[in-house]
């Protein structure tokens, strides 16, 4: 499978981010907990050098808890602060505020030594498309918070959201582009729904998903679809089509319908809490 992004967009987004990063103390990077490696672009490590770093493992509600822990340890080892998250809920937001203060301890201390008191920490949210940036900003900022800056006729600067007395957030997230050097990256992002389905061959995708489930989540296909797992992925797909009554008008099995069903049930968590890539593979 091949995926193509537009270099023009990428260059523009990167330049914007280089500018924005100068204004902040902390980079809040969202990754998809089901594919924490493929949903990152390591360019942010270079862009965010010198800044405090917080990784939010978002959509952790859909990922395998054991792997969430392993990935959190992986990121911590790399020097990032880490929080697992379901950005749709308020739970966890208090933890994040605490971790932000921890991550920016040095900056706060430096300010204090210079006699600067109560200057809020400034942060920006970054991540690849569909990872949950807007959801996070909405949940975290809530309705109550006032936007600061960019008052009509006063400044033409950036919009900041005042989260509490200690933290301000740039209101537009930075968009990172996935790095497609490894073909698995495209596959994983397609499976979690971060690449438009129209661009994909859905049958190919479901066969790959079946292969991963057979290898790492034995029992998942049997539980959900009564499928015999000791078969080839194509045979399993056929069995699922049969068991779920995916048939075309003439009575012929509809593999695309069965494929779409499996992928949809994976994405929505109905197949279980599943992580597609593992930290030990990354070293
Ligand atoms: P973005 O700004 O980074 O592009 O992402 P956005 O917030 O728009 O979120 C993309 C989708 O992911 C949304 O679903 C959102 O509800 C969902 N989402 C965000 N955070 C979480 C999370 O922690 N857990 C779960 N389970 N879902 C989350 P959507 O509006 O239905 O879009 P789509 O899924 O149809 O693309």
**What DSSP assignment string belongs to 68-98?**
HHHHHHHHHHTT-EEEE--TTSSTTHHHHHH
Residue among 278, 216, 271, 269 at smallest CA distance from 240: 271
Most informative mutation of 130, 136, 173, 196 for ligand 1 (most atoms within 8 A of CB): 130
7 Cα to the center of ligand 1, angstroms: 25
Residue nearest atom 29 in ligand 1 by C-alpha distance: 130
Verify whether ligand 1 is closer than 6 Å to residue 92 (CB atom).
no
Question: pLDDT value at position 9?
Answer: 74
Verify whether ligand 1 is closer than 6 Å to residue 214 (CB atom).
no
Residue 263 near residue 269 (C-beta atoms within 8 A): no
Q: Is pLDDT at 68 greater than 80 in this prediction?
A: yes
Q: How many CB atoms are located within 10 Å of the residue 170 CB?
A: 22
Which atom from ligand 1 is nearest to the alpha carbon of 131?
A: 3
Which atom from ligand 1 is nearest to the alpha carbon of 128?
A: 3
Q: List, for residues 173-205, the tens digit of each pLDDT value.
A: 998 988 888 889 999 999 999 987 776 799 999
Residue 168 near residue 121 (C-beta atoms within 8 A): yes
Q: Is pLDDT at 247 greater than 90 in this prediction?
A: yes
Q: Enter the pTM of the model.
A: 0.92
Residue 136 near residue 124 (C-beta atoms within 8 A): no
């Amino acid at each position: 499978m091949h995926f193509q992004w537009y270099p023009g967009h990428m260059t523009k987004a990167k330049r914007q981010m280089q500018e924005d990063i100068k204004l902040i103390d902390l980079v809040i990077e969202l990754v998809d907990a089901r594919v924490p490696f493929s949903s990152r672009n390591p360019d942010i490590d270079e862009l965010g050098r010198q800044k405090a770093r917080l990784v939010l493992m978002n959509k952790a509600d859909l990922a395998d808890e054991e792997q969430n822990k392993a990935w959190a340890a992986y990121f911590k080892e790399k020097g990032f602060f880490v929080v697992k998250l379901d950005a749709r809920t308020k739970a966890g937001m208090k933890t994040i505020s605490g971790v932000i203060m921890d991550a920016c301890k040095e900056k706060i201390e430096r300010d204090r030594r210079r006699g600067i008191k109560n200057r809020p920490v400034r942060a920006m949210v970054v991540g690849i498309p569909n990872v949950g940036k807007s959801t996070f900003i909405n949940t975290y900022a809530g309705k109550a918070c006032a936007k600061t800056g960019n008052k009509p006729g006063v400044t033409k600067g950036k919009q900041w959201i005042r989260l509490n007395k200690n933290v301000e957030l740039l209101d537009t997230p930075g968009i990172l582009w996935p790095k497609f050097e490894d073909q698995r990256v495209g596959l994983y992002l397609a499976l979690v729904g971060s690449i438009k389905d129209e661009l994909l061959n859905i049958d190919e995708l479901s066969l790959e998903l079946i292969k991963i489930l057979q290898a790492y989540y034995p029992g998942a296909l049997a539980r959900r679809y009564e499928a015999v797992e000791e078969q080839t992925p194509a045979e399993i797909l056929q069995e699922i089509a049969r068991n779920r009554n995916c048939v075309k008008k003439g009575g012929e099995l509809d593999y695309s319908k069965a494929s779409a069903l499996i992928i949809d049930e994976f994405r929505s968590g109905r197949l279980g809490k599943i992580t597609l890539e593992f930290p030990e593979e990354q070293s």
